[in-house]
Amino acid sequence: MRNSISSIHPTAQAVQDALARFAAEGAWRKYDGPYLSNLRSLLAATLGREYARLCCSGTFAVELAVRSLQLESDEEVLLAAYDFPGNFRAIQDAGAIVCLCDVALNNWVPTVEQLEAAAGPKTKAMVVSHLHGALAPMQNICSWAKQKGLVVVEDACQAHGAWIDGKPAGAWGDLGVLSFGGSKLIASGRGGAVVTNNASFAQRMTIFCERGNDSYALSELQAAVIIPQYEYLPIDHELRRNAAKNLLHHLSQFEWLSLVQLRILEQPAFYKLGLWIRDSILKMPPIQQWVQAGSGTAVSPLSVAREYVLQKLSAHPIEIGPGFNGFMRRSANRCRQPVALTNSRTAADSTLVLHHSHLLNPQTGGSTIESVQAAFEAMHQEMMY
């Protein structure tokens, strides 16, 4: 039966209908049935890959992708020093050494220049993530990696629905990684996937996971929830992208904020919309007082200023928080740091991320873009006087 609430979002309605069919069919008892098979086929077709391996999470999917490379214990995987913390651990757990590179200036992703500066004779692969609405320049990265004989693991966990130079995010790397975690653009509470065209990588992933059965499996129920969300992904993607453009235009009036720059040939996916706090915020009287008082536990004036911003925004009904802490302070016993990580440190100290739920309103019934704008305007007025 259709939900009586006429305002229910079409994606939510599609999931409800899929769950009703799933229950009627009794499919919950199956280890591996038609829903998982259909999802594998859907992912392979959507991303133009021959093999799609489903698993328990996006974090494990990164580990599984790196494990499929069969790296030696002294071989390295490049990773940006500003990235999701689970990716650092995933490389370690796969038995390789993390080699940190910097991100581009005023960005959260590396370019070829940052990757090349950090690469060494033991470097065999890289994990490249799309973060906060910024997309890594995959065409250049993959061309350079091919010349150097390096494997690219493309982490598209935050980028469902994004396109880069005519191809979907996750389709560029030798292996592409997706997440279906509970807060993601396509969600089933938990879950992940790895896609590839390399038969050897696919076989190694299967061998590692098969221990009498699939030890890191996605369930039929999760697959049943994921599949209908793909039908509405382009619609939701367009709504989020347009809302993000409008919000970025509005926030451009605040000179103490830096905003993500969108390339003409990109269609970013905003799982979290990223913003940076500029150094100029430190000149504002309330921020100066806050920093001088030593409020909070942050380690730099810019991150102290960010605490002030987040505290003021917490009075409003918006879901916004800091970005990642980064890996700049990891010891030499845990990774190699061949280059200065200046841009990554700035990103870790200054990043704000707004959850994508705000970019679908009023469809999702939560706080609207206008509420987000009003929150920033109220805070800006407090900082000016």
Same domain, 153 and 207: yes
Cα separation values, 71 from 80, 97, 122, 327, Å: 19, 9, 10, 22
What is the reported pLDDT for 289? 86
pLDDT tens sequence across 282-313: 999 888 888 887 655 557 999 999 999 999 99
Report the pLDDT averaged over residues 179-203: 97
Residue 158 within a domain: yes
> Is residue 3 domain-resident?
no
Residues 182 and 111 in one domain: yes
pLDDT band at 5 (very low <50, low <70, confident <90, very high): very low
- Of 91-95, 100-104, 200-204, 365-369, which gets the smallest average pLDDT? 365-369
For residues 204 and 295, state if they share a domain: no
36 is a domain residue: yes
Are 51 and 110 members of one domain? yes
CATH number at residue 360: 3.90.1150.10
* Higher-confidence position of 383 and 309: 309
Query: Which pair of tokens denotes residue 271?
Result: 């799982």
Averaged pLDDT, 209-219: 94
Domain that holds residue 35: 10-230
For the segment 342-363, the average pLDDT, to the nearest whole number, is 89
Q: Is residue 1 domain-resident?
A: no
Tell me what pLDDT residue 294 has: 67
Do 181 and 79 lie in a common domain? yes
pLDDT at 184 over 80: yes
In this structure, the number of other CB atoms found within 10 A of the CB of residue 174 comes to 21
- Of 230, 248, 269, which one is at a domain's C-terminal end? 230
Q: Does residue 4 form part of some domain?
A: no
CB atoms < 10 A from the CB of 370, how many? 13
What mean pLDDT value characterizes the chain?
91
- Of 170, 197, 230, the residue that ends a domain is 230
Residue that is last in its domain, among 230, 249, 280:
230
- Which residue would you say has higher pLDDT here, 241 or 191? 191
Indicate whether 84 belongs to any domain. Answer: yes
pLDDT, position 9: 78
What is the pLDDT averaged over residues 365-376?
77
Domains: count for the chain? 2
3 state DSSP class of 69? coil
Q: What percent of the chain has pLDDT over 70?
A: 94
CA distances from 43 to 36, 167, 177, 218 (A): 11, 14, 11, 14
Q: Do 37 and 135 lie in a common domain? A: yes
Residue 10 has pLDDT above 90, yes or no: no
Average pLDDT for 15-24: 91
Rg of the chain taking only CA atoms, in angstroms: 21
pLDDT category, 29, cuts 50, 70, 90? Answer: confident
Q: Which of 19-28, 76-85, 376-385 has the highest mean pLDDT?
A: 76-85
More confident residue, 33 or 367: 33
Based on the domain organization, do 189 and 277 belong to the same domain? no
CATH code: domain of residue 104: 3.40.640.10
pLDDT at 231: 92
Identify the weakest region by mean pLDDT among 134-148, 320-334, 347-361.
Answer: 347-361
Give the least confident one: 137-141, 261-265, 320-324, 340-344: 261-265
Q: Return the pLDDT at 6.
A: 40
pLDDT at residue 4 is higher than 80: no
Could you tell me where the beta strands, DSSP code E, fall in the chain?
Answer: 51-55, 76-80, 97-101, 123-129, 151-155, 163-164, 167-168, 175-179, 192-196, 257-259, 266-267, 272-277, 320-322, 335-336, 351-355
Pairing of the two strands 272-277 and 351-355: antiparallel
Residue 2 located in a structural domain = no
DSSP-derived secondary structure letter, 274: E
pLDDT digits (tens, 9 = 90+) for 124-159: 999 999 999 999 999 999 999 999 999 999 999 999
In terms of domains, do 199 and 285 share one? Answer: no
272 and 156 inside one domain: no
Same domain, 318 and 187: no
Q: How many Å apart are CA 166 and CA 175, to the nearest integer?
A: 18
Mean pLDDT of 213-219: 95
Residue 180 covered by a domain? yes
The pLDDT confidence band at residue 100, using thresholds 50, 70 and 90, is: very high
Calculate the alpha carbon distances from 88 to 130, 214, 385 in Å. Answer: 15, 24, 42
User: Is the same domain home to 196 and 241?
Assistant: no
**Same domain flag for 237 and 222:** no
Per-residue pLDDT tens digits for 50-92: 999 999 999 999 999 999 999 999 999 999 999 999 999 999 9
Q: Which of 152-166, 230-244, 257-271 has the highest mean predicted lDDT (pLDDT)?
A: 152-166
